[in-house]
Amino acid sequence: MARTHNLGFPRIGAKRELKFALESYWKDQSSRDELKAVAAGLRQQNWALQNQLDLAPVGDFSFYDQVLDMSFTLGCLPNRVRDFHGDALDNYFRVARGRSAKSSEEGCCGGNHGGVAAGEMTKWFDTNYHYIVPDFKADTEFKLDASRLLAQLAEAKAQGVKAKPVIIGPVTYLSIGKEKDDSNRLELLGRLLPVYVELLNALAAQGVEWVQIDEPILVTELEADWVKAFTQAYQALSDTKVKLLLATYFGQLQSNLELVASLPVQGVHLDAINAGNEVDALIAKLPADRVISLGVINGRNIWKTDLNAVLEWLLPVSKQLGDRLWIAPSCSLLHVPVDLDSEVKLDAEIKSWLAFAKQKLTELSVLATAINQGPAAVKAELEANAAAIAARRNSPRVNNPAVKAAIAKLDAKLGQRKSPYATRAAKQAALLKLPKFPTTTIGSFPQTSDIRQARRRFKAGEISEASYLQAMRAEIAYSVREQELLDLDVLVHGEAERNDMVEYFGEQLDGYTFSQFGWVQSYGSRCVKPPILFGDISRPKAMTVEWSKYAQSLTRKPMKGMLTGPVTILNWSFVRDDQPRSISCYQLALAMRAEVLDLEKAGISVIQIDEAALREGLPLRRAQWQEYLDWAVESFRITANGVEDETQIHTHMCYSEFNDIIKSIADLDADVITIETSRSDMELLDAFKNFEYPNEIGPGVYDIHSPNIPNQDYMVKLMKLAAERVPAERLWVNPDCGLKTRQWNEVIPALTNMVEAAKTLRKSV
């Protein structure tokens, strides 16, 4: 008998109940008990949905972040919150976001609402989920606090849940944290392991049989001392009374497969979506008494599983493994939306191709029945699934022969500018007549409540399209006027008409659709709703040209056209599983190229193509970076490089470590790149200096994430630091990123100072 289990379930709720409960508590509009009741209700619902499984996860629920939960379980708190005497949950929020609810702090710690520095956040492997990075020091001590896990376990038991507690393994926990001094965090392992042993024993005392211990770091390249740490750690943990299911996901084990097979655990979970090619090797290497859990349902996408195709290879495996086989989603379902049934507006045909978390669990049950009772027992389900898979595969909405033909004809010439940079730069200078240290901004101006309200009312049908367009034009006119008064050199239209830099284009491209409730947690209470790329991409008509033309008509200064690049559109969408990412990216590139050429034809001579998400698309393993960079760079080049020499192409990337990918950045061959640098004292420019980056650069001098207004001297100083690294004649002066989250009363003084700084530089450098 194959058993079914799940690695984790989304905790935000099908209608983002947790988000609203958290934000209301933080604003002091509800009590801690009300928040806790919403959380308990969500756990109960989630377990009820997982009732059909042989084992359901416990401890996967989190008020903010599962890594931060683990830090609290292990007693690994930053010093700045250790002396807090208030409620533990409030202290937890202080680490997560710098503060808790206001009333929770009264009378405590000087009544200053307990404001502390928020924990650093970073992306969880190659997902868009952000965790709070554990802090380590040479003297970090650990101390078990199992209360959260034990309480959830008791709740689960009371509900009759077949519980499998989920924790993050010790090696991954250390590896994803950071030293706050010059110690080596691996040296903490010896101090950490006894706390894990104590935790596992505490779970065993509650009658727990299996514990899922997540070690996703095993799908990355490990240095020798980290490999050794695994052996040491699992030797120590084997001395407890629970059975351990070592969970790996998001990729292949490759050279770590032998290591995994050698560890003294009772079972191993392998992501069979990404590492299907390693199933046989793992079976061969793993001792014959071990459980093998195969992740056969994709936990990272929203597509129905081809159940018949899975059974074709899984049935023979199940014959071979018998009771040793478990099946599950490939990873925690945290990374997919909760329930497709909520989608009442979604196109019925497309909906029939999709599965969210709840539907994926049903798929899992169908597979288990097919294995345990024979496929005939789920004949109707398998036939319906086959029909949906075939309908999607053959749908004319997915397949556009003209797009496929264009992709087949791609050649290197498409991505090549007509002349080298030096020739272009001279022609652009003659046309644009910009001063030294030209000033510009990154695209968006404040998204005021007026703008958001107009959009909301337009979408709700309360105002006509004409009055919506009128309102947006008025916003554009306002921002153009302000930029002229500021005396900026290259203006932008301000992006008032855009809700989001990806959604805006997705809504206008064929091949995209949108869900209503397809939310996925990004961090804490923040969720994103990625657009769904389901078919071959084409552009029915120009998307931005009218706005840019209108904005240009208001000024004699150059108006910068503003587009999102193909790689960023791709990386922030749910993408197809029926073709390589690279092909979807090339399709997006061709559509965006047509937009670039239309802008050029409309007289726009500066065009910016944002690639904010280029770096975050890098694969987990370095060995695969180059392949990704090759198609990502080529996609950008196809988009940008069809223009005449006189047209100046800009690109923009948010905070980026460019050292290890600088060659690819140069290969984009953009005339100007603007980047986020103000917080790093221009040190990020070292990569450009060492590489002798040949084109123009605008290093950000205004940290737009902060309400602070930088003064002129500060910005002059930063630009002088920049000029030590990049020749002054190739420098631009601009903020770090778009201004949409700021207020006009912050933006105006900051940009006034920025323009003054540029004028000072023109005289002195």
Binding residue (CB under 6 A) for ligand GLN from 18, 244, 654, 668: 654
DSSP code, position 488 = -
Provide the 10 A C-beta neighbour count for residue 214. Answer: 25
Minimum Å gap between C-beta 562 and ligand GLN is: 6
- Contact between 740 and ligand GLN by CB under 6 A: the answer reads yes
Kindly indicate which of the ranges 177-185, 226-234, 490-498, 607-615 contains the residues binding Zn ion, using the contact rule CB under 5 A.
607-615
Please name which of 178, 262, 253, 264 lies closest in space to residue 217, comparing C-alpha atoms. 253
> Judged by CB, which is closer to ligand GLN: 495, or 671?
495
Nearer to ligand GLN, 612 or 750 (CB): 612
CB of 610 to Zn ion, least distance (A): 7
501 binds, among Zn ion, ligand GLN, none (CB under 5 to 8 A by kind): ligand GLN
d(CA 501, CA 504): 6
Q: What is the DSSP string of 144-172?
A: ---HHHHHHHHHHHHTT--EEEEEE-HHH
Strand partners, 55: 5
| 610/634 with CB nearer ligand GLN | 610
The stretch among 233-241, 331-339, 527-535, 737-745 that binds ligand GLN (CB under 6 A) is: 737-745
632 makes contact, choosing from ligand GLN, Zn ion, none, with CB < 5 to 8 Å by partner type, with: none
Alpha helices in 53-138 (DSSP H): 66-73, 88-97
What stretch of H or E contains 244?
strand 243-247
Residue 740 binds which entry of ligand GLN, Zn ion, none, with Cβ cut-offs from 5 to 8 Å by kind? Answer: ligand GLN
Binding of residue 163 to Zn ion (CB under 5 A): no
Residue 580 CA to residue 578 CA, distance in Å, equals 7
Read off the amino acid at residue 70: M
Written as six digits, the tokens of 717 are 């100083």
Q: Interface with ligand GLN includes 479 (CB under 6 A)? A: no
Give, as ranges, the residues between 193 and 252 that touch Zn ion (CB under 5 A).
Answer: none
Nearest CB to ligand GLN, comparing residues 260 and 559? 559
Q: Which is nearer to ligand GLN, 417 or 740 (CB)?
A: 740
Sign of the alpha-carbon torsion through 469, 474, 475, 480? positive
- Of the candidates 85, 493, 650, 705, the residue annotated as catalytic is 705
Q: Which of residues 609-628 bind Zn ion (CB under 5 A)?
A: 612
Is 715 among the residues that bind ligand GLN (CB under 6 A)? no
Task: Determine if 742 is a binding residue for ligand GLN (CB under 6 A).
Answer: no
Is residue 658 a contact partner of residue 684, using CB atoms and an 8 Å limit? yes
Q: Write out the two tokens for 94.
A: 């202080």
Spell out the residues 6+ positions from residue 279 whose beta carbon is closer than 8 angstroms to its own: 270, 272, 294, 317
Per CB under 6 A, which of residues 591..610 are in contact with ligand GLN? 610
What backbone phi and psi angles, to 5 degrees, belong to 171? -75, -45
588 binds Zn ion (CB under 5 A): no
Instruction: Report if residue 715 touches Zn ion, rule: CB under 5 A.
Output: no
C-beta of residue 247 within 8 angstroms of C-beta of residue 7: yes
Stretch that binds Zn ion, among 305-313, 423-431, 471-479, 734-742 (CB under 5 A): 734-742
The phi-psi region of residue 164 (left if phi > 0; otherwise alpha if psi is between -120 and 50; otherwise beta) is beta
247 binds, among ligand GLN, Zn ion, none (CB under 5 to 8 A by kind): none
Q: Choose which of 652, 719, 722, 733 interacts with ligand GLN (CB under 6 A).
A: 652
443 contact choice in ligand GLN, Zn ion, none (CB below 5 to 8 Å, kind-dependent): ligand GLN
Query: Nearest distance from residue 741's CB to Zn ion, in Å?
Result: 11
Contact 737, 611 (CB under 8 A): no
Task: Report which DSSP code applies to 303.
Answer: B
The CA-atom distances, in angstroms, between 539 and each of 224, 403, 510, 543, 647 are 50, 10, 6, 8, 22
Q: Does 444 bind ligand GLN (CB under 6 A)?
A: yes
Q: Does 654 help bind Zn ion (rule: CB under 5 A)?
A: yes
State in angstroms the smallest separation of the CB of 610 from ligand GLN. 5
Residues 543, 640, 737, 739: which binds Zn ion (CB under 5 A)?
A: 737
CA-nearest of 69, 723, 63 to 436 is: 723
Taking CB under 6 A as the rule, does residue 388 contact ligand GLN? Answer: no
For 287, residues 6+ apart whose C-beta sits below 8 A from its C-beta are 261
CA distance 756 to 45: 58
Give the residue, chosen from 174, 195, 378, 562, that forms a contact with ligand GLN under the rule CB under 6 A.
562
Q: What's the CA angle centered on 92, arms 86 and 98, to 5 degrees? A: 95
- Applying CB under 6 A, among 13, 443, 558, 642 the residue interacting with ligand GLN is 443
Cβ atoms of residues 46 and 113 within 8 Å:
no
What residue is closest to ligand GLN based on CB? 738
Between 164 and 652, CB nearer to ligand GLN: 652
Establish whether 493 is a catalytic residue: no
For β-strands 121-123 and 130-132, DSSP reports them as antiparallel
Helix residue spans in 180-248 (DSSP H): 189-205, 224-237
| Residue 652 beta carbon to ligand GLN: minimum distance, rounded to whole angstroms | 5
Q: What is the separation, in whole angstroms, between the first and last Cα of the chain? A: 76
Minimum Å distance from CB 653 to Zn ion? 7
Residue 645 near ligand GLN by CB under 6 A? no
Minimum CB separation from Zn ion for residue 736, in Å? 7
Among residues 354, 501, 672, 731, which is the contact residue for ligand GLN, using CB under 6 A?
Answer: 501
Q: Following DSSP, what letter does each residue of 170-195 receive, concatenated?
A: HHHHHHTSEESSSS-GGGGHHHHHHH
Catalytic residue numbers read 705
- Where does this chain bind Zn ion (CB under 5 A)? 612, 654, 737
- Where does this chain bind ligand GLN (CB under 6 A)? 442-444, 495, 501, 562, 610, 612, 652, 654, 737-738, 740
